[in-house]
């Protein structure tokens, strides 16, 4: 199990996923921060990066905030 911190920019012109340190990431998604669309895309990108199923990634804190705390289960 791993905790990661993500700073998310929703509604960006292009997607990006940058690793800033061991557990800090900057993520830009095209989806807007409406109807949980941006959060869903963030979860998809994190699951893809860590090569785990989508149901193994959850947002713990920051559902309505650009700074998020996520947990990735092995």
Show me where the domains of the chain are located: 2-72
* Residue corresponding to tokens 């700073």: 7
User: Which residues does residue 71 pair with via DSSP β-bridges, in sequence order?
Assistant: 3, 58
Q: Which two tokens stand for residue 59?
A: 């947002």
Third-level CATH fold of 2-72 = Conserved Hypothetical Protein Mth637; Chain: A; (3.30.1200)
pTM for the predicted model, two decimal places: 0.93
Distance, in Å, from the CA atom of 7 to the CA atom of 56, rounded to the nearest integer, reads: 20
Binning the chain into helix, strand and coil, the percentages to the nearest 5 are 25, 40, 35
Q: So what's the pLDDT on residue 35?
A: 94
**What pLDDT does 17 receive?**
96
Question: Alpha-carbon Rg of the chain, whole angstroms?
Answer: 11
The model's confidence at residue 74, banded by pLDDT at 50, 70 and 90, is confident
22-64 per-position pLDDT tens digit: 999 999 999 999 999 999 999 999 999 999 999 999 999 999 9
């Amino acid at each position: 199990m791993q905790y990661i911190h993500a700073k998310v920019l929703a509604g960006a012109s292009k997607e990006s996923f940058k690793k800033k340190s061991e557990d800090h990431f900057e993520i830009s998604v095209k989806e807007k921060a409406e109807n949980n669309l941006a959060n869903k895309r963030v979860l998809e990108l994190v699951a893809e990066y860590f090569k785990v199923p989508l149901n193994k990634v959850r947002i713990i804190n920051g559902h309505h905030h650009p700074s998020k705390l996520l947990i990735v289960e092995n």
